[in-house]
């Protein structure tokens, strides 16, 4: 039974029936078609494994996307890029910086593959990738039919897209197409980026890398899957209830208007890290899983953690935050049991 440990950045010990690497659509379809009718065999498509945690042995085949290739052309106003889903995200961002195809600088050093970026609409430091995606090329697993999803078709939201819902487990993403405006405003409103003097894409890229390295554990040294939970978005009423008790609740208005009459309709994002910290979990260790001391949104594998350690810790956090604030945290990571995705 091949080991999945090195295929997931969380690095739990787990195995599966087989691991198959594919480099193009036809090799994917021939592997897929040879196993799809075996009802005893689940299938999971994997990129870099930085958002997938195998909490148990997986009774099935893991198909690892290695479709490569980057092509580029430009017009007077835009750069256009077509990128193989198996390209490494950060290497791609670095290449774009070197070529002066700007726009991705805030999204530097996010682990994983290009193919996974639209699925949860990756975002960091004030930029979400949906603002740069033109279209996503996919193949329907069952029929092999190729389909192109426009940006609108993708129904992007906060860490969300149609590929997490109607199209979940139905398509393979083969290529992502980006459209980068040559003239745009740099995003420097986020924390330490605001302190940059005369910001340039290069300065933002370097600063983002520096901040991420100082705050987030490197998965190569300490197993983790980045943010374990999504930041909850709550109503103005829920936020006000919390703000009455806690003076300094960090929060961001994510929708609604600032007109007085509409304030009650606003949606407020509260950082899950703050909620988890307030619930007393920052730096807390349970068996071999730790809530990271400098970023409590990240759970880490101290070495030898088991799937049940992870699930127990995650459930404890969810229950404590719910008890204290009445807010239900939702995982951002994909948790897998022996038959496929599981929920907490």
Ligand X SMILES: Cc1cc2nc3c(=O)[nH]c(=O)nc-3n(C[C@H](O)[C@H](O)[C@H](O)COP(=O)(O)OP(=O)(O)OC[C@H]3O[C@@H](n4cnc5c(N)ncnc54)[C@H](O)[C@@H]3O)c2cc1C
Residues that bind ligand X (CB under 6 A): 9, 44-52, 65, 85, 110-113, 115-117, 119-120, 122-124, 172-173, 216, 219, 224-226, 334
Q: Which is nearer to ligand X, 11 or 239 (CB)?
A: 11
Q: Which is nearer to ligand X, 46 or 314 (CB)?
A: 46
Element (H, E) at 93: helix 89-99
Element (H, E) at 267: strand 267-269
Are 299 and 316 in contact by the 8 Å Cβ rule? The answer is no
Q: Which is nearer to ligand X, 127 or 180 (CB)?
A: 127
Q: Choosing from 128, 159, 290, 334, which is the catalytic residue?
A: 159
Q: Which is nearer to ligand X, 22 or 325 (CB)?
A: 22
Q: Choosing from 8, 50, 113, 227, which is the catalytic residue?
A: 227
Closest approach, Cβ 249 to ligand X, in A, equals 22
CA angle 61, 224, 344 (to 5 degrees): 70
Closest approach, Cβ 196 to ligand X, in A, equals 19
Closest approach, Cβ 163 to ligand X, in A, equals 7
Closest approach, Cβ 171 to ligand X, in A, equals 6
Question: DSSP string covering 170-220, please?
Answer: TEEEEEEEEEEESS------SGGGGG-SS--HHHHHHHHHHHHHHHS--TT
d(CA 312, CA 318): 10
Q: Which is nearer to ligand X, 225 or 270 (CB)?
A: 225
Q: Which is nearer to ligand X, 97 or 173 (CB)?
A: 173
Are 254 and 267 in contact by the 8 Å Cβ rule? The answer is yes
Closest approach, Cβ 8 to ligand X, in A, equals 7
Q: Which residues of 67-97 are buried (b: 16+ CB within 10 A; e: fewer)?
A: beebeeeeeeebbebbbbbbbbbbebbbbbb
Q: For residue 214, what are the contacts with CB-CB under 8 A and spacing of at least 6?
A: 294
Residue written as token pair 């520096």: 210
Catalytic residue list contains 227 = yes
Phi, psi of 77 (to 5 degrees): -105, -20
Catalytic residue list contains 332 = yes
Closest approach, Cβ 56 to ligand X, in A, equals 16
Catalytic residues: 159, 227, 332
């Amino acid at each position: 039974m091949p080991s999945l440990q090195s295929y997931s950045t969380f690095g739990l010990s787990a195995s599966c029936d087989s691991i198959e690497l594919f480099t193009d659509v036809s090799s994917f379809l021939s592997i897929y078609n040879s196993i799809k009718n075996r009802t005893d065999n689940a299938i999971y498509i994997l990129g870099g494994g930085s958002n997938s945690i195998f909490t148990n042995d997986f009774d099935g085949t893991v198909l690892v996307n290695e479709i490569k290739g980057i092509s580029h052309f430009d017009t007077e106003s835009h750069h256009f890029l077509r990128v193989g889903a198996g390209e490494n995200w950060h290497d791609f961002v670095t290449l774009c910086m070197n070529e002066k195809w700007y726009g991705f600088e805030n999204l530097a050093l996010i682990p994983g593959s290009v193919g996974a970026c639209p699925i949860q609409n990756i975002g960091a430091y004030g930029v979400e990738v949906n603002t740069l995606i033109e279209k996503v090329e996919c193949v329907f697993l069952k029929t092999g039919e190729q389909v192109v999803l426009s940006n609108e078709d993708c129904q992007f939201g906060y860490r969300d897209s149609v590929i997490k819902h109607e199209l979940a487990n139905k398509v393979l993403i083969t290529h992502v197409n980006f459209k980068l405006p040559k003239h745009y405003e740099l995003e420097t409103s986020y924390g330490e980026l605001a302190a940059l003097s005369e910001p340039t894409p290069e300065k933002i890229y370097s600063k983002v890398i520096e901040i991420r390295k100082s705050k987030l554990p490197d998965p190569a040294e300490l197993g983790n899957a980045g943010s374990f939970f999504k930041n909850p978005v709550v109503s103005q009423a829920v936020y006000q209830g919390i703000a009455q008790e806690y003076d300094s609740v960090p929060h961001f208005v994510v929708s609604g208007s600032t007109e007085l009459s509409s304030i009650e309709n606003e949606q407020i994002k509260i950082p899950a890290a703050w909620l988890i910290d307030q619930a007393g979990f920052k730096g807390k260790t349970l068996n071999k899983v730790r809530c990271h001391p400098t970023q409590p949104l990240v759970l880490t594998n101290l070495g030898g953690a088991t799937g049940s350690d992870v699930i127990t810790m995650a459930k404890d956090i969810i229950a404590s935050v719910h008890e204290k604030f009445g807010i239900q945290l939702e995982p951002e990571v994909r948790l897998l049991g022996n038959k496929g995705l599981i929920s907490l």
